[in-house]
Structure 1
Amino acid sequence: MAIKLHEKILLTGAAGGLGKVLRESLKQNCTMLRLSDVVDFGAAAEGEEIMLADLANAAQVDAMVQGVDAIVHMGGKSVDGPFQPIMMANILGAYNLYEAARKFGVKRVIFASSNHVVGFYSQGETITADAPARPDGNYGLSKAFGEDLARYYFDRYGIETACVRIGSSFAEPKDRRMLATWLSFGDLHRLITACLTTPVLGYSVVFGMSNNAVTWWDNSRAKHVGYQPQDSSDVFREAVYARTSAPDLNNPAATCHGGGFVTMGPYEA
């Protein structure tokens, strides 16, 4: 059940994979959902408005943010690759977004961070949000910056943020790693709803995962958010094991939290 506390919510990255999922479910959380992306993705439906914006363009971001009550920031580059495009979308873009939030009085942001902020931890250990960042590539590095940026804007300007370290959000887990990192679409919406509606959010880091039996992430530092996952990867375990082979324990892609991201690159400038 979604609680509607906001008149207008901005969803960035609305043309992306998870943006398309949240485009439908987030309408339960507000009267008007403002959708944005850098590319044209069609006309607005009932209860929607569309404002295209390049996150690296401060003026466009200002226009995108003005007049909203809360922001669900899913925009930017979502895979690893060369630094320059990631820097423009994820680092400069995040700065522009928080500056716009400061200027226009937006006090709550849900920031799509990533498990790749801590990708170099071993799958043989469970960590809390207090564990130091260990980004596994340029993408993870940009998300670590975004978390620090959110911390700064909370301490300095009182903008509350939930940094949601999304694991693997798909219709179902694709491999053995995702049995630990899987976040169902339903739980994704429940998590964002909890972050939007908890009375005091502050600056919070929340691991985005469903109620999976195997996990490397301890969400005990985020109890105040009130997220209660209702789905689990366990129902897919037998099928995933049947179609995949045992991991090569000599391959860091099979033993680190970040999976294949830990072996990507280096990239040419």
Structure 2
Amino acid sequence: MQRLLITGSSGTVGRLLVDRLAAARPDRRLRLLDLHHPDGLADRADPAGVELVEGSVTDAAVVAAAVEGVDAVLHLGGISVEGPWRDVLEVNVHGTFTVLDEAARAGVRTVVLASSNHAVGMTRRGDADLPADAPFHPDTYYGWSKTAGESLGRLFVERAGLDVVALRIGSCRERPQNVRELATWLSPDDCARLVEASVDPATTGFHLVWGVSRNTRRWWSLAEGEAIGYRPADDAEVFAAEVERAGGEPVPVDVVGGSFTRFALGTCDVQG
């Protein structure tokens, strides 16, 4: 039996993954941690297969109880957009530290961190695929918080013996919403495949991996994901005609972070 804790399970990516990860293995038991859970989840969930925990990832006592007895943690909990410095620091950095620290204390084998393309958001596109270990070049406080999380993950590998995979996630949603996302899209099914590869006991040490599907227009490397057994199957190009017909406000595609590179720090307001 594999016991998997998912923090931030009620967030955008968590909602896409819970059912997929529950169905992937009949011997898997999920523990879901979030501030609140959607109405009806407790009634719909299999009482023997899904356990619900309410609380914050910044609360060490809550996290300590949540990681007890689990084999792996998928840490999705946190602020997923640009926000005020103190909020981002508390939730994304202190929260990630708390999860890593309590997981190490509890003897958890693997922690998978939801990092972001915004950790390197100011990086300009080149002709070659950008490697998953591209140096930090954050575009926002949010992006910086993800560099801090990656760095903490490496520290806990070196000093506490955890196995950590940091996923530099692109745009994980049911379908791409604009031309940029034809390159950065991570389908929910591919995201589940990536998590499966990350929590596999054969994946050890520290890894940085792009969270992206096998998109025709992709400009990020798949090699690092393939090295841990990730085999993406989906391609955003099937939505290309629909996305291009829809038009809409242009999103920058010459830098990794897209619109985030235009946000005023601490807000989601576009500068200029």
TM-score under structure 2 normalisation?
A: 0.90
- Residue 107 of structure 2: aligned partner: 105
CA distance in 2, matches of 1:51, 1:247: 41
- Residue 94 of structure 2: aligned partner: 92
- Residue 134 of structure 2: aligned partner: 131
Q: Name which of 170, 175, 181 aligns with 2:173.
A: 170
- Residue 118 of structure 1: aligned partner: 120
Q: After superposition, what is the alpha-carbon deviation per residue over 1:59-83, rounded to whole angstroms, capped at 9, x for unaligned?
A: 1111111111110111111111111
Question: SS at 1:199's partner residue?
Answer: coil
Question: Contact (CA 8 Å) 2:14, 2:76: kept in 1 or not?
Answer: yes
CA distance in 1, matches of 2:37, 2:230: 33
Check 1:123–1:240 CA distance in 2 against 1; reply closer, same or farther (3 A cut). farther
CA distance in 2, matches of 1:7, 1:127: 34
Question: Contact (CA 8 Å) 1:198, 1:224: kept in 2 or not?
Answer: no
Q: After superposition, what is the alpha-carbon deviation per residue over 1:78-124, rounded to whole angstroms, capped at 9, x for unaligned?
A: 11111111111110000000110111000101111111111111234
- Residue 8 of structure 2: aligned partner: 13
1:266 aligns with 2:265: yes
1:36 aligns with 2:30: no
Question: Contact (CA 8 Å) 1:216, 1:257: kept in 2 or not?
Answer: no
- Residue 80 of structure 1: aligned partner: 82
Letter in 1 for 2:219: W
Q: Name which of 235, 249, 252 aligns with 1:232.
A: 235
- Residue 69 of structure 2: aligned partner: 67
CA distance in 1, matches of 2:159, 2:124: 34
1:211 aligns with 2:214: yes
CA distance in 2, matches of 1:53, 1:169: 25
CA distance in 2, matches of 1:13, 1:143: 15
1:153 aligns with 2:151: no
Check 1:267–1:17 CA distance in 2 against 1; reply closer, same or farther (3 A cut). closer
CA distance in 2, matches of 1:212, 1:227: 14
Check 1:246–1:41 CA distance in 2 against 1; reply closer, same or farther (3 A cut). closer
> How far 1:31 moved relative to its partner?
2.9
> How far 1:198 moved relative to its partner?
5.4
Structure 2 unaligned blocks of 5 or more? 268-272
Of stretches 233-242 and 106-115 in structure 1, the one that deviates more from structure 2 is 233-242
- Residue 254 of structure 2: aligned partner: 255
CA distance in 2, matches of 1:117, 1:201: 23
TM-score under structure 1 normalisation?
A: 0.91
CA distance in 2, matches of 1:226, 1:92: 30
Q: Name which of 200, 204, 213 aligns with 1:201.
A: 204
Letter in 2 for 1:84: R
- Residue 3 of structure 1: aligned partner: none
CA distance in 1, matches of 2:60, 2:201: 30
CA distance in 1, matches of 2:174, 2:138: 26
Letter in 1 for 2:32: L
Question: SS at 1:191's partner residue?
Answer: helix
> How far 1:245 moved relative to its partner?
6.3
Of stretches 134-143 and 119-128 in structure 1, the one that deviates more from structure 2 is 119-128
> How far 1:256 moved relative to its partner?
1.1
Question: Contact (CA 8 Å) 2:225, 2:231: kept in 1 or not?
Answer: no
Question: Contact (CA 8 Å) 2:56, 2:62: kept in 1 or not?
Answer: yes
CA RMSD of superposed structures (Å): 1.8
CA distance in 2, matches of 1:56, 1:241: 41
> How far 1:246 moved relative to its partner?
9.1
Question: SS at 1:180's partner residue?
Answer: helix
Check 1:82–1:157 CA distance in 2 against 1; reply closer, same or farther (3 A cut). same
Question: Contact (CA 8 Å) 1:118, 1:258: kept in 2 or not?
Answer: yes
Structure 1 unaligned blocks of 5 or more? 1-5
User: Number of residue pairs matched?
Assistant: 259
Of stretches 25-34 and 94-103 in structure 1, the one that deviates more from structure 2 is 25-34
Letter in 1 for 2:152: L
CA distance in 2, matches of 1:90, 1:266: 16
Q: Name which of 210, 221, 225 aligns with 2:224.
A: 221
